[in-house]
Amino acid sequence: MTNTPTTPGVVPARLDPEILQDNFSDLEPPFDAHEAVVAADRCYFCHDAPCITACPTEIDIPLFIRQIQAGQPEGAARTILNQNILGGMCARVCPTETLCEEACVRELAEGKPVEIGRLQRYATDSLMARGIHPYERVAATGKRVAVVGAGPAGLACAHRLAMHGHDVVLMDARERIGGLNEYGIAAYKTAGDFAQAEVEWLLRIGGIETRTGVRLGRDVSLEDLRADYDAVFLGMGLAGVNALGVEGETREGARDAVDFIAELRQADDLTKLPIGRHVVVIGGGMTAVDAAVQSKLLGAEAVTMVYRRERDRMSASEHELDHAATAGVRIITNAQPVAVHGNGAVREVEFAYTRDGANGLESTGETFRLPADQVFKAIGQTLEGVPEGLTLAHGKIAVTGPGRTGLEGVWAGGDCTAGGEDLTVTAVAQGRDAAEDMHAALSA
Ligand SMILES: Cc1cc2nc3c(=O)[nH]c(=O)nc-3n(C[C@H](O)[C@H](O)[C@H](O)COP(=O)(O)OP(=O)(O)OC[C@H]3O[C@@H](n4cnc5c(N)ncnc54)[C@H](O)[C@@H]3O)c2cc1C
Ligand code: SF4
């Protein structure tokens, strides 16, 4: 180790390689067979199970838990994957504490839900470890569909279309398939290159041709796609990021949190990834939490997350905020950035305290400064490069029903569409449902 957490500046190798490896290994270790059966035994197998309704992909949770209890983890995996083809990733990344586990009757009764997420992981990992892909394509229909964006929405859509016998061309602007599963999700939630393993497993359905490095709007237009294919699905996510709009935000050392996270996810060797001694993260959502926690895990001495409103307005869940606090991240609320100071590179960030006033958020007039050699901006992402002709709602693509846009033959789903929750599982549900609607239209 060449540096320590207190070495000034933005430097690599603040921690020993073994500590780094440990820090970025599985957040929650997987169940073994015995632990899974014990956890499954806690389920009441409720009739009208509220956990199913709380799951955006409506997995039959009591059924898959009963299958685990009966010693059939692969059957359980099929139950999950029938509804959610990215059930392995969702088992790792879903905020279950605000979805199925929050709704679980044992959570209401005892404050301790059935561990649905970990059971789901046990089932899907068991099946994948045996190299089984339990789906086959039906006879080819001769229809060709373009899927733009290979994140969870595009992948779920492509898989379902391929199952129905359509030929899919899945294109993405990035070099690797997976969207934010590959470039965004915190590294400790998807250890062991799980995102790529899952993509390879999913593509085994056949009938999906992947084209990377292809950007809609640069290399191909929506008009071309509509002319060349029988249908088009747009699952482009949110490629743009919001700026702070304050003086000094382009100083060296200040950058978008999503870019930092993508770099971290693609790093072969974490000991080479530079991190600041004093890191300030601006924002209150999942991206801000992930940037802050991972900065700490890389060895930053002090990491502070600053959010402009009160804690209960943060979009990160209490569970995630607790995780950040446990990792050693300091959280300041009711403060907004005023300026990023420095001499070339960032030295300090100045904030003003805020309060809710008659006309919305207002400054109290009191300011403070935090030392910073690195600043991560995480105040939201935006839709970028929307093709012409699409109707927008709240800055995203407007859809009706299962992803129908206003354009004939064009569907959309995932983060790029209005009304979603910006979660992996919602993107999967929307991609799947759009594929079913496209299939119905293509079969008519
Ligand atoms: C840092 C971070 C952490 C997150 N953590 C979690 C979590 O723990 N749990 C959770 O449930 N959700 C999490 N989310 C949210 C989740 O990742 C997204 O909701 C989900 O990935 C959306 O899927 P998608 O397919 O709509 O879009 P994306 O995953 O963003 O995929 C869109 C794809 O489209 C491609 N693309 C974009 N523009 C074009 C174009 N013009 N031409 C071709 N391709 C294009 C992109 O390269 C990308 O691969 C996180 C998000 C971020 C940013
Ligand atoms: S609500 Fe909880 S106890 Fe009831 S079926 Fe779902 S997981 Fe089992």
Blockwise average pLDDT, block size 10, the chain, 444 residues:
91 96 91 98 96 98 98 97 98 95 95 97 97 95 98 98 98 98 95 95 98 97 97 97 95 97 96 97 96 98 97 93 97 98 96 94 96 97 92 95 96 94 96 98 95
Does ligand 2 have an atom closer than 6 angstroms to the CB of 442?
Answer: no
Ligand closest to CA 64: 2
Does ligand 1 have an atom closer than 6 angstroms to the CB of 383?
Answer: no
Going from the Cα of 435 to the center of ligand 2, the distance in angstroms, rounded, reads: 29
How many whole angstroms separate alpha carbon 114 and alpha carbon 106?
Answer: 7
Buried b / exposed e along 287-325 (16+ C-beta atoms within 10 A): bbbbbbbbbbbbbbbbbbbbbbbeeeebbbbeebbebbe
Side-chain half-sphere exposure of 8, counting CA atoms within 13 A: 4
> What's the chain's length in residues?
444
Helix, strand, coil distribution of the chain in percent, nearest 5:
40, 20, 40
Ligand 1 nearest-atom number relative to CA 214:
43
Q: Which of 124, 165, 121 is nearest to 145 (CA)?
A: 165
* pLDDT given at position 274: 97
Residues facing 339 on adjacent strands: 247, 350
pTM score of the predicted model: 0.96
* pLDDT given at position 420: 79
Cβ-contact 418, 402 below 8 angstroms: no
Degrees to nearest 5, angle at CA 230 with 224 and 236: 60
* pLDDT given at position 385: 87
Looking at ligand 1, which residue's alpha carbon is closest to its atom 12? 423
Does ligand 1 have an atom closer than 6 angstroms to the CB of 174?
Answer: yes
Going from the Cα of 50 to the center of ligand 2, the distance in angstroms, rounded, reads: 7
Looking at ligand 1, which residue's alpha carbon is closest to its atom 37? 236
Cβ-contact 402, 434 below 8 angstroms: yes
How many whole angstroms separate alpha carbon 346 and alpha carbon 436?
Answer: 50
Ligand closest to CA 44: 2
Ligand closest to CA 62: 2
